[in-house]
Amino acid sequence: MPLSEHERDVLRQMEQSLHEDDPQFAARMEGQSWSLMRRVVLGALCVVCGFLAVITGAVVQLVYLGVAGFAVMVAGGYYASLGFSPSRLPFGRPSMGLPGQSQHI
């Protein structure tokens, strides 16, 4: 569902006020989404290629190929997860606390 003209105007005004209030933060947020997307896509490609190498190593019975494929899978998953922090995820907010933990005010 596309945004209405009023909603687009409100978003433009919010963006302009963010650029005026804190230009460094606004610049960081604009560039961060592309780098995060690129990191996730490259990491996912490494995971898929590593998985294919593991399967190929099992079919051809080459242990080294399977081990190398597994290493590529782990490295790709790690690389893709570098851009995520608990504060970015809706279910990982550090301020909410876990059951059983004391809440210090």
Q: Is the pTM of this model over 0.75?
A: no
Q: What is the pLDDT of residue 89?
A: 52
What pLDDT digit, counting tens, does each position of 34-63 carry? 677 888 889 999 999 999 999 999 999 999
Q: What is the pLDDT of residue 98?
A: 55
Q: What is the pLDDT of residue 102?
A: 55
- Low pLDDT (below 70) residues in the chain: 1, 27-34, 83-105
Instruction: Please check whether residue 50 is in contact with residue 72, taking contact to mean a CB–CB distance below 8 angstroms.
Output: yes
Token digits of residue 89 = 């995820």
Q: What is the pLDDT of residue 101?
A: 56
Q: How far apart are CA 62 and CA 15, in angstroms?
A: 55
Q: Long-range CB contacts (< 8 A, 24+ apart) of 68-74? A: 72/46, 72/47, 73/46, 73/47, 74/50
Q: What is the pLDDT of residue 63?
A: 94
Q: What is the pLDDT of residue 60?
A: 94
Give the Cβ contact number of residue 47 at 10 Å. 19
Instruction: Please check whether residue 67 is in contact with residue 104, taking contact to mean a CB–CB distance below 8 angstroms.
Output: no
